[in-house]
Each structure stands twice: as C-alpha cells, then as structure tokens.
A and B are shown apart, each in its own frame.
Chain A
Amino acid sequence: GAGVSQSPRYKVTKRGQDVALRCDPISGHVSLYWYRQALGQGPEFLTYFNYEAQQDKSGLPNDRFSAERPEGSISTLTIQRTEQRDSAMYRCASSLTSGEASRFFGPGTRLTVL
C-alpha cells in the first residue's frame, strides 16, 4: 500500500479479553516499530523488528503484551487479559532500512478497555 495501515482503527473491549492489533507496513520496509501513546503524551516505544526478527522488546510493559512479524511484513501486537490501563492509541511505524529512524507512522488503533 501507499502508507502504513493499521486495523482496527478503533477497538472497544471488556477487561479480561484478549485483543490483537494489526500493522501493515509500507511494502519492502525492513523495520517495523510499535508505540503506545496516551492522551497528551508523546509516543512510548514498545518493540521493533528488522524483517521477522524482534530486535528489542524492552518497552513492552509486561508479559501480557507480545508482538510478532512472522514473515517480515505484517505485524500483530497482542494484549492478553486486557486491563483498563491498557487503553491508549497504539501506533505502528515502518522504515525502509534498519538504519533509519521511525519515519512513516500509521493512523493508529484507539484501544478502549471498559
């Protein structure tokens, strides 16, 4: 596609449910990043991939959060047993090369946990 896409754009779920957020990066981009952005805050790094390899997951808040990019393209961020504090905008970004900063951001998935 022309840009980074994310789905769903909005997700409302009940506490305790699992959610899966999808990111479709720009075709051919090597690096894919996941961020979380609370209202009024800057983005907070969660994890990133080069191709299918997860390079750094130090930003994942706890073991309920996981991410994968099995074929080096689409990535899924999964949150298990969601809690209200997980409510935020989850953004994905991709870069053409591994040496480039997060350049192209997707529109985000707004997650609300009731």
Chain B
Amino acid sequence: GQQLNQSPQSMFIQEGEDVSMNCTSSSIFNTWLWYKQDPGEGPVLLIALYKAGELTSNGRLTAQFGITRKDSFLNISASIPSDVGIYFCAGQSGNNRKLIWGLGTSLAVNP
C-alpha cells in the first residue's frame, strides 16, 4: 500500500543533542500524526496536527504541519536515552479515517 517518505531512516546521536525528522507526501493531507513505537509494543500517539502551518509542542517534542499540507516535521530537543525507538509519521486526507504511514525513523541515543 501507499506509504509516506520519511527521513532519515535512522539516527544515532549523543544524549543532549536535538533531533529533527520529516515526512513528505505526494498528496495533500488534512491531518498529520506522529507516533513512537518501542520494541514489541504498539505505536503511541505523540502529537496530532490538524491545520496547515500549525506548530504543536508536547514537552520536548515539537511538530509542524507544513504549509503545503504535503509535509510535516518532528523535533526532539535535548534527547535522553528513553527517546530511543522508532518514530512514525502518518497522514490522513478527506473525511475518512484511513491513515497512510511512513516507514519510520529509528533513533538511537548514546548516553
């Protein structure tokens, strides 16, 4: 099925560094979502974005809904070891609830 372009595919950073990842689509979305998945667990919703240009924070996480409605980014500031995991973006268009997902960004944090 259709999947979004998410980059980078993986990141290995030092504790305390900031992280940025993004997601792009060939089609317009009206909702962008960011999830984190730990090994063996289901995805956990981090941030939901519903409006073009919207910038939303959740603690050290900040996400933005691109103005073109075809992209979104997620920033993590001052990373800590528990930030390790796979981060997925997901988008939704129209009125249906079908989510299109990215392939994930795997984050490793060196303490």
Contact = CB atoms under 8 A, between A and B. Distances in A.
Interface of A: 4, 31, 33, 40-45, 48, 55-56, 58-59, 91, 93, 98, 101-103, 105-108
A105 B98 contact: no
B1 interface: yes
Interface of B: 1, 3, 6, 31, 33, 41-45, 48, 88, 90, 92, 96-104
Nearest to A99: B97
15 contacts: A4-B42, A33-B97, A40-B104, A41-B3, A41-B103, A42-B3, A42-B103, A45-B99, A55-B97, A56-B98, A59-B1, A101-B45, A101-B97, A102-B97, A106-B42
A42 B101 contact: yes
A102 to B, nearest CB: 6
A105 B101 CA distance: 15
A91 B42 contact: yes
A41 to B, nearest CB: 6
Contacts of A56: 96-98
A108 B42 contact: yes
Nearest to B89: A42
A42 B102 contact: yes
A76 B96 CA distance: 21
B50 to A, nearest CB: 9
Contacts of A101: 31, 33, 45, 48, 90, 92, 97, 99
